[in-house]
Chains A and B, each alone.
With several copies, the nearest count.
Chain A
Amino acid sequence: MSVVDQETSAAPASVVTMPFAKAINAGLRAALAADDHVLLMGEDIGPLGGVFRVTEGLQAEFGAERVLDTPLAESGIVGTAIGLAMAGFRPVCEIQFDGFVFPAFDQITSQLAKLTNRHEGALPFPVVIRIPYGGHIGAVEHHQESPEAYFAHTPGLRVVSPSTPNDAYWMIQDAITSNDPIIFLEPKAKYWMKGEVDTSARALPLHASRVVRRGTDVTLVGHGAMVTTLLQAAALAEGEGTSCEVIDLRSISPIDYGPILDSVRRTGRMVYAQEASGFTSVGSEVAATVMEKAFFALEAPVLRVSGFDTPFPPAKLEGLFLPDADRILEAVDRALAY
């Protein structure tokens, strides 16, 4: 399933350059236009266009019954989205910031994730929950968290996170047409990053991981905004004579292990990087599984570089908390030292 560096191939006419947030906006617009039972719901997504302007213009275009400014209650948003799905809709909920998803946690975990199973497949629950997540924006508490592990651990959910505008454009549409509940994590640090979007065809299926840089010595894996940091680290490592392969997970649940295992079998060394705290995290899962499945290929243990096991600190310390290229390189060096 892996394809190298989709975004850097020669650009056909269908290719437009746009920022990440605009790419989601365009993807949402396409989904709203394609199916009149797609609807968006959330806080401030109407006239304001969302606090990150991701839904800008959509209420004006599709009306207040397709793009809903709901009452201020996250359990209510997800709980009514479930009821709307029962009535034949495909709701796309926006949670304003990562840290505000927890009031909806019961509806997500005990209802949304389990309802297909509880109904023994009699009806699908095509609900997408969009969550801007992660740090790097210098914001106050609850606005910079990475809650993916909670959702990854919950059977019945799918969890994805695009890291480029092109993926953002396609993955949001694929998430909306999927019949399963999907937690759609948008790395808010990337909202303003521009990139080419090829509106003619998707590059990869929703749940595929992707090799974004080829290398031979160490495999670097991560998701969301961390992919950029991994690429920076790989560039720095190259200067020091180390060749890093970089893989963007794209899908956090399920994980497409094929490209990762292929890579590790060649390099023998791997580092997983994530903004989330490391204890019982997605990085733990990937490390444990890769070590299990590629045991004899490994020259060193899979190392993890994570946010510390502290609450996300005040903004002035976020640079200390969040793994940067140097911290990734430190792990690369440790891996190489085995």
Chain B
Amino acid sequence: MTPPDDPALVRVLAADGTFAPTPGAERYLPLIDALADSELETFYRDMVVVRAFDRQATNLQRQGQLALWPPSFGQEAAQVGSARAARPQDHLFPSYREHVVCTIRGVDPIDIIRLMRGLTHGGWDPTDPKNGNTRIYTLVLGSQTLHAAGFGMGLVFDKRTATGDPEKDEALIVYYGDGSSSQGDVHEAMVFAASYRAPQVFFLQNNHWAISVPVSTQSRTPLFQRAAGYGMPSIQVDGNDVLASYAVTKTALDEARAGGGPRAIEALTYRMGAHTTSDDPTKYRTSDEEESWARRDPIARMHAYLRARGASDEFFAGVEEDAAAYADDVRIRTNALGDLDREVMFGHVYSEPHPLIDEQRRWLADYEASFEGGKA
């Protein structure tokens, strides 16, 4: 079902956590060597904390607190590696499963919860510095790749990139899935990004499934190979290896910000959970397959690696505590979420006044006032 890994696949950590770089990984080793222990620990903590959040959110959905939850379970390394590779001035365009990416950049997890609870269609203000230039989710698959390309064109036109100063030059990364890769918009985004040399990294998380449809239906050939047709360098990385994900993304972003034009990365990973809480994966995939991927769990891998490097029991215990506290906090704040102001419906349809909206807002107020004692 799955197209074979490319021989040039970049992997640094084997599934059991041993340091075993593939030939394709050689050029990235200096970047990995340069990582301080504290950074490695941050990568690990990120993954564990967000997995706890993700599990909590799944539970909250089961308890009826959320309409839906799309778990990021299993994709932590691809997301942590890539998001940690982005510089502060970089821009991130998620699809809808990038909970790890968003929270790392500063988005409050409760804002994602609010989206999935049916309290908002957005959740956060991407222009508020505290959100780390993270755009809101896009549910129409592939659309965001064009928004990212346009944003990248804007960076070029405004000379906010490719000035030669990596501390200031801006770049961006857009996330999408193996299923989404079939959408025409993704193609057009590559055409525009290549044509205008947008400083853009196309980051495809190939988690092998688009709901119930295997990636082999989308492509008989490794997806990262598409990029070459646009003159875009591209690479396939083991997306369950946080170090490899970090290194390839950092390299691609820095090449893009230096004026090298767009880049593409295909991160091979696996959606270890259901598509969303409404989904039943037993209908379409085998437990053999699930188990084989469980053996490649990104967290276990990094755990083994850190352990071998000498990380202490206290460190691991501390991370577990942090994660539990984080998830608890989300649960408590979810339960405290209030109702929704109807102005969310009328208030922002337009940026400027609109007579029809005003008329309907007034009508609704009068109508409700007409029920003495309020509407049932």
Contacts and interface: CB of A to CB of B under 8 A. Distances in A.
The reply to whether A and B meet directly (CB within 8 Å) is yes
A86 B211 contact: no
A69 B280 CA distance: 17
Counting contact residues on chain B (CB < 8 A from A), the size range is 35 or more
A79 B189 contact: yes
Interface stretch (B239-247, B250-258, B339-347): B339-347
Interface stretch (A13-21, A102-110, A295-303): A102-110
Interface in A316-332: 316-318, 320-321, 326-327, 330
B152 A83 contact: yes
Interface string B106-138: 000000000111111110011110000001101
B146 A119 contact: no
Contact of B153 (A84, A119, A126, A321): A84
Interface in A58-99: 65, 69-73, 75-76, 79-89, 91, 99
B143 A316 contact: no
A86 B151 contact: yes
B146 A79 contact: yes
B23 interface: no
B136 A118 contact: yes
A79 B136 CA distance: 15
B192 A80 contact: yes
Nearest to B143: A111
Nearest to B149: A80
B151 A87 contact: yes
A39 B157 contact: yes
B348 interface: yes
Contacts of B157: 39, 65, 89
B186 to A, nearest CB: 9
Interface stretch (A22-30, A136-144, A223-231, A259-267): A136-144
A207 B195 CA distance: 37
Interface in B73-131: 115-122, 125-128
A80 B212 contact: no
B225 interface: no
A25 B344 CA distance: 38
Given A48-B283, A254-B354, A43 B211 contact: yes
A172 B210 CA distance: 27
B147 A82 contact: yes
B149 A69 contact: no
Contacts of A51: 211, 278
Interface in A92-134: 99-100, 102-103, 106-107, 110-111, 114, 116-126
Given A72-B179, A72-B182, A141-B139, A80 B211 contact: no
Interface residues of A, number: 78
B332 interface: no
Contacts of B217: 69-71
A147 interface: no
Given A65-B157, A75-B146, A327-B367, A313 B348 contact: no
B225 to A, nearest CB: 16
B360 interface: yes
Contacts of B153: 80, 83-84, 87
B79 to A, nearest CB: 20
B212 A119 contact: no
A187 interface: no
B29 interface: no
A138 B191 contact: no
A310 interface: yes
Residue among A72, A118, A158, A180 with most chain B CB within 10 A: A72
Given A76-B191, A81-B150, A106 B143 contact: yes
A288 to B, nearest CB: 14
B324 interface: no
B50 interface: no
Residue among B125, B143, B348 with most chain A CB within 10 A: B348
Contact of A80 (B135, B146, B278, B280): B146
Contacts of B354: 158, 254
A71 B217 CA distance: 6
Given A84-B150, A85-B150, 20 more contacts: A65-B157, A76-B149, A76-B185, A79-B145, A79-B185, A80-B153, A83-B148, A86-B126, A87-B150, A87-B153, A111-B138, A111-B147, A114-B121, A116-B349, A121-B348, A140-B139, A158-B354, A180-B351, A316-B340, A317-B345
13 contacts: A51-B278, A73-B191, A82-B146, A83-B148, A84-B151, A99-B139, A106-B140, A117-B349, A119-B122, A139-B68, A140-B116, A254-B355, A316-B119
- Kindly list the 6 A-B residue pairs having the minimum CB-CB distance in the complex, ordered from nearest: A83-B150, A79-B146, A315-B118, A87-B154, A80-B150, A76-B188
Interface of A: 39, 43-44, 46-49, 51, 65, 69-73, 75-76, 79-89, 91, 99-100, 102-103, 106-107, 110-111, 114, 116-126, 138-142, 155-156, 158, 178-180, 207, 254, 256, 279, 308-311, 313-318, 320-321, 326-327, 330
